[in-house]
Chains A and B, each alone.
Chain A
Amino acid sequence: NHQSTMSPEEFISRIMEAEPPEIYLMEDLKKPFTEASMMMSLTNLADKELVLMISWAKKIPGFVELSLADQIHLLKCCWLEILMLGLMWRSVDHPGKLIFSPDFKLSREEGQCVEGIMEIFDMLLAATSRFRELKLQREEYVCLKAMILLNSNLSTSSPQTTEELESRNKLLRLLDSVIDALVWAISKLGLSTQQQTLRLGHLAMLLSHIRHVSNKGMDHLSNMKRKNVVLVYNLLLEMLDANTSSSS
């Protein structure tokens, strides 16, 4: 497989090229926000970003060689984590603010108008602060994003068919490649061996925090949809339904 013979440098170069373009909300934001208007803007942006996320995933070396079922499972499990990590990356140089897009920036206080969202904003801001303290580099960021995608669904059931088994093996090799790439990116920072190991650990530990915020966010969005605060449609609805039905 080509990705197993690819150097970590080449792997990072490919995932850097896969990065989605900057996306704009392109709405006239009427402030102050209402609960409905803020949720509508957030979900509109998420829906646009999701379409680009599929295209991004397809450019991760080896992803399209996985079975279609595995591709679908991985994306439906990680989509909100990926959106949140992107949000943290855009916000890393803006303490106290969440940069959802260049034309849609919110302070934590603006979260007050949506019931239950300030808690999520605070968790997002806390993780962003941690990335700021660590001085997260772009190469590390793209590796973490690919790790979230590839590590999102470790199925508990054993592969039943040859195709499933092959796809599972490809996925494990892909995870090896992305870990190698992150280790390589860290090795370029001029740290001691011990500091490199610690940095790898700290970055990996942040992923569990992102999974936790994503679960909170998923519950929040499902509640907002159930209460008819926001109309969820298109790809976002499909991803949300997939998630809630698999967890119920």
Chain B
Amino acid sequence: TSLKEKHKILHQLLQNSTSPVDLA
């Protein structure tokens, strides 16, 4: 959990399939 908390955005980008261009 701490790893996920520490790297929230990175974790989210690794897990989701949303286009990174949209997120940028």
Contact = CB atoms under 8 A, between A and B. Distances in A.
B7 A242 contact: yes
Contacts of A242: 6-7, 10
A4 interface: no
Given A71-B14, A72-B14, A51 B7 contact: no
Contacts of B9: 234-235, 238
B24 A54 contact: no
A54 B7 contact: no
A135 B8 CA distance: 40
Contact of B14 (A68, A234, A241): A68
Contacts of B6: 238, 241-242
B10 A239 contact: yes
A31 to B, nearest CB: 26
Contacts of A58: 14
A238 B10 contact: yes
Interface residues of A, number: 19
A90 interface: no
A108 interface: no
B20 A51 contact: yes
B24 A72 contact: no
Nearest to A237: B9
Interface of B: 3, 6-11, 13-15, 20-21, 23-24
Interface of A: 48, 51-52, 54-55, 58, 64, 68-69, 71-72, 75-76, 234-235, 238-239, 241-242
Given A76-B7, A242-B10, 20 more contacts: A48-B24, A51-B24, A52-B21, A54-B10, A54-B14, A55-B13, A64-B14, A68-B11, A68-B14, A68-B15, A71-B14, A72-B7, A72-B10, A75-B14, A76-B10, A234-B9, A235-B9, A238-B7, A239-B10, A242-B6
